[in-house]
Amino acid sequence: MVKIVCDSSFLMILASKRIKNISSVETEIGALEYVVPDMVVKELEGLVHDDKKKSSAQNALRITQSFPKISISGKSVDDALVLYVEKNGGIVATIDAKLKTRIKQSGGSVLSVSNDKIILEPGKL
């Protein structure tokens, strides 16, 4: 089973847009297990207080209830996600351009959204 570590940006898109190919992703990659870092949950809880992001953050938090949680640590959520990938490998689900670059440079792959479809961006080895 492939572990997909979710970032808040990905969860908020997942909660606010209709993703066309979500069911076919497992066919392409294999069995998936979406996991949510504890730092991402805290970040979403903070975004609930932002008027522009409140609705998406609340919906994303609802989605996280059905996903297993993992503990990560770092100076920031992005740093922690990069450290996690460097140590454990894997795929990070995000739409954050800077984070995508950092993850790929660390040898990890990225699950992202483009044109309302989930895409896999392999890491640089």
- Per residue in 66-78, pLDDT tens? 999 999 999 999 9
Q: 9: pLDDT confidence band, cut at 50, 70 and 90? A: very high
10 has a pLDDT exceeding 90: yes
Q: Which domain holds residue 113?
A: 2-121
Please count the other Cβ atoms lying within 10 Å of the Cβ belonging to residue 81: 28
Residues 111-124, mean pLDDT to the nearest whole number: 84
28 has a pLDDT exceeding 90: no
CATH label of the domain that carries residue 17: 3.40.50.1010
- Using CA atoms, how far apart are residues 31 and 74, in angstroms rounded to an integer? 28
Which residue type sits at 26? E
85 has a pLDDT exceeding 80: yes
Which residue type sits at 47? L
- Domains in the chain, number: 1
The strand pair at 91-93 and 69-70 is best described as unpaired
Q: 14: pLDDT confidence band, cut at 50, 70 and 90? A: confident
Separation in Å, CA 34 to CA 7, 86, 90: 11, 18, 11
- Using CA atoms, how far apart are residues 68 and 35, in angstroms rounded to an integer? 5
